[in-house]
Amino acid sequence: MSDDRPRTVGILVFEEVEVLDFCGPFEVFASAQDPQTGERAFDVSIVAETTGIVSCRGGLLVKPHTDFSNAPQFDLIVAPGGYGTRAQKDNPALIDWIGRQHHGTEITISVCTGLYLLAAAGLVDELPVTTHWAAFDEAREFFPDLQLVSDQRVIDTGNVVTSAGVSAGIDMALAMVERLLGRTAAEETARDMEYDWQTRI
């Protein structure tokens, strides 16, 4: 980036989204500080199709900051997983939003079965990708051409990054902090969160 503003991160939510899939990355990006200025490095927003209350897995209720119609172009977007992805992969409004955002993002990211949403948008064709270990067979059923990799928690292919399930989203977000801000910034963020960060990329 050519200016000093925080990078913007849009984290998607939808009905039956897995809580840690989006809350874990939110905590990482919201906690990370620019090593040069000590200021926050990311401006994080929760995005949904509408700004109505979203019921997440387990009953957690979330009020999005913005919706597809009003969200700005983000530098990073995160598509989390959860049972809701089975329906959302066929939601034209959501898939179109991901596709439109991807054209302007620095990095487009999935956690867990959020991979389905990137696949439905045509963003992972011929790329090595990953998801939750228990979803590999289902992923192949939905998207037979996926190039699934089973032994990595995070796969960084440049402007598309995919991660394994649930807690792997925290590792992914820390890996993005390392990539964008440096190793020290990532280690400081993990330390602030009291998270024992194991990088397995």
Contact 26, 168 (CB under 8 A): no
Catalytic: 112? yes
Instruction: Using DSSP, state whether 168 is helix, strand or coil.
Output: helix
Q: Which of 62, 63, 57, 58 is nearest to 85 (CA)?
A: 57
Q: Which of 25, 30, 65 is nearest to 48 (CA)?
A: 65
Neighbours of 141 (CB within 10 A): 9
Q: Exactly one of 71, 112, 129, 190 is catalytic; name it.
A: 112
Enzyme catalytic residues: 112
